[in-house]
């Protein structure tokens, strides 16, 4: 198998996931309350074995799952992805005790996880974290400060939290902690966002943590965060590709059936050429995502650059495709409840989270110049 083709088994699995998302998970999603964790949906993902597969998958399978689910039900895709992101540091750097306590609960869909990195003053510049972990008399720390734009907050059951323990400036001196939601001093507030995802802010008022809560090593938490994001960045691109494919599917059906000026829309050259452009960009984004995922799983060099390219191009492409689909559908696509109205709200956020488009361009350029300056 190459990075650009899938064996028949994987292709059939993707088709099954898409059908499952469309027919079984979407009805559960529609019963959920926007802006809140849909626990029945999370439990269904666990009951179907998708979360268990998520926790044992590499980047390629993660991308396949996210694309296929997003094409059929964006809420199911997001619920699955947030479980993976929130528990990713536990999977990558957790102790045996931490993994035994939380990963089976996540896998079963009984515990909701969250990745708490961003702060009011540290979004794109993640190394500017200010949440303080101050030494406590018992040998542990007390967390004081804020986190913001945290998916699944404040309703998660545990958070992977990145705080400054003081070993150095910038990326140095950041420690990762596993913080159960019931710790004293931890409170949260939901935030109303453009997309219907559960997102909130967290306030830490002397929240106690100990050495048993550290993920990895003290002072090396930023590496835990980056390793997690390097795994998930290509899959954000896969999420975007899934939305682009859903928009393209709807557009093909609409332009074939809709009549204007005495003929189907598809017979108008301006329309057919627009659809061809949408399809070409979507396929290019898809291949770039899978190339990055395959490189990650193979341990090849240049993974941060490839992951950045995949996220950059796929999220920008999805924005273009969904916008073009809305234009070709006309006013009906602007009506609340229409698939494209839903996708239009969903597609904007991925160009910002897990590293905004501008940050991805910075990563790509930095790595390219580093390659150029490396002695032969």
Q: Are 226 and 301 within 8 A, CB to CB?
A: no
Q: Of 324, 294, 325, 323, which Cα lies nearest the Cα of 307?
A: 294
Q: How far apart are CA 69 and CA 242, in angstroms?
A: 7
The encoded tokens of residue 299 equal 């341990």
Helical (H) or strand (E) element with 307? helix 303-329
Q: Of 121, 128, 39, 30, which Cα lies nearest the Cα of 83?
A: 39
Q: How far apart are CA 56 and CA 91, in angstroms?
A: 9
Catalytic residue, candidates 75, 77, 346, 354: 354
Find residue 161's DSSP bridge partners: 116, 177
Q: How far apart are CA 359 and CA 342, in angstroms?
A: 26
Residue 144: count other Cβ atoms within 10 Å of its Cβ. Answer: 17
The encoded tokens of residue 241 equal 């590709």
Q: How far apart are CA 65 and CA 236, in angstroms?
A: 11
Q: How far apart are CA 153 and CA 136, in angstroms?
A: 26
The encoded tokens of residue 338 equal 């229409």
Q: How far apart are CA 147 and CA 133, in angstroms?
A: 13
Is 155 an active-site residue?
no
Active site residues: 354
């Amino acid at each position: 198998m190459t990075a650009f083709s899938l064996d028949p088994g994987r292709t059939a699995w993707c088709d099954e996931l898409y059908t499952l998302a469309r027919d079984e998970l979407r009805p559960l999603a529609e019963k959920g309350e926007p802006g809140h964790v849909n626990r029945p949906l999370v439990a269904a993902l666990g009951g179907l074995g998708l979360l268990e597969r998520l926790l044992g998958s590499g980047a390629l399978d993660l991308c396949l799952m996210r694309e296929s689910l997003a094409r059929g039900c964006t809420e199911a895709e997001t619920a699955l992805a947030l479980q993976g992101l929130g528990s990713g540091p536990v999977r990558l750097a957790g102790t045996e005790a931490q993994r035994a306590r939380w990963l089976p609960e996540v896998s079963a869909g009984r515990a909701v996880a969250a990745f708490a990195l961003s702060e009011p003053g540290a979004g794109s510049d993640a190394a500017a974290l200010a949440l303080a972990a101050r030494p406590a008399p018992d040998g542990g720390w007390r967390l004081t400060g804020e986190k913001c734009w945290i998916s699944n907050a404040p309703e998660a059951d545990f958070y992977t939290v990145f705080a400054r323990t003081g070993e150095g400036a910038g990326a140095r001196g950041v420690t990762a902690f596993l913080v159960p939601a019931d710790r004293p001093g931890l409170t949260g507030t939901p935030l109303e966002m453009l997309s219907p995802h559960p997102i909130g802010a967290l306030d830490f008022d002397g929240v106690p943590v100990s050495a048993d809560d550290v993920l990895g090593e003290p002072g090396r938490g930023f590496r835990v965060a980056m390793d997690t994001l390097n795994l998930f960045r290509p899959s954000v691109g896969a999420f975007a590709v899934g939305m682009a494919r859903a928009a393209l599917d709807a557009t093909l059906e609409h332009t074939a059936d809709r009549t204007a000026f005495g003929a189907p829309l598809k017979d108008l050259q301006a329309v057919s050429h627009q659809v061809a452009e949408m399809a070409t960009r979507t396929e290019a984004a898809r291949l770039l995502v899978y190339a990055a995922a395959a490189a990650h799983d193979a341990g090849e060099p240049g993974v941060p650059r490839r992951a950045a390219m995949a996220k950059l191009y796929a999220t920008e492409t999805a924005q273009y495709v969904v916008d073009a689909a809305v234009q070709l559908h006309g006013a009906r696509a602007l009506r609340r409840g229409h698939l494209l109205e839903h996708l239009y709200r969903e597609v904007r956020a991925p160009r910002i989270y897990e590293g905004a488009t501008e940050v991805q361009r910075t990563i790509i350029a930095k790595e390219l110049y580093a390659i150029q300056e490396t002695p032969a």
